[in-house]
Structure 1
Amino acid sequence: MYRCAKCNEPIRNVNALGLQCEKCGSKIFFKERPNVKKVLKSD
């Protein structure tokens, strides 16, 4: 679900308070989003 911004390692334990990357210690994360194209109808 989340990836570390520094080392790109996936984060498994997202419920921990004071979340840090286990590999590099970074506190900046990106939420992974699926590559899905959305088509919207205009009125």
Structure 2
Amino acid sequence: MGYKCTRCKKIVEINYRALGIRCDYCGHRILVKERPTSIKRIKAE
């Protein structure tokens, strides 16, 4: 699961046990979850 840093805009993988939630490049702690670019369509019944 990829997260994007709000400061440097790079995609980071999170290892929760090793260092917590931090950007590997700039050390910023605010990350947002990457959304898939494809659209999921579900047929309504």
Structure 1, gaps ≥5 residues long? none
Give the helix-richer structure, 1 or 2: 2
Structure 2, gaps ≥5 residues long? none
CA–CA distance in 2 between the matches of 1:28 and 1:38? 27
Match of 1:24 in 2: 26
Instruction: Name the TM-score, length of structure 2 as normaliser.
Output: 0.62
Q: Which runs of 4+ in 1 moved over 3 A?
A: none
Count of paired positions: 42
Larger CA Rg, structure 1 vs 2: 1
Q: Superposition RMSD on alpha carbons, in Å?
A: 1.7
Match of 2:37 in 1: 35
Match of 2:11 in 1: 10
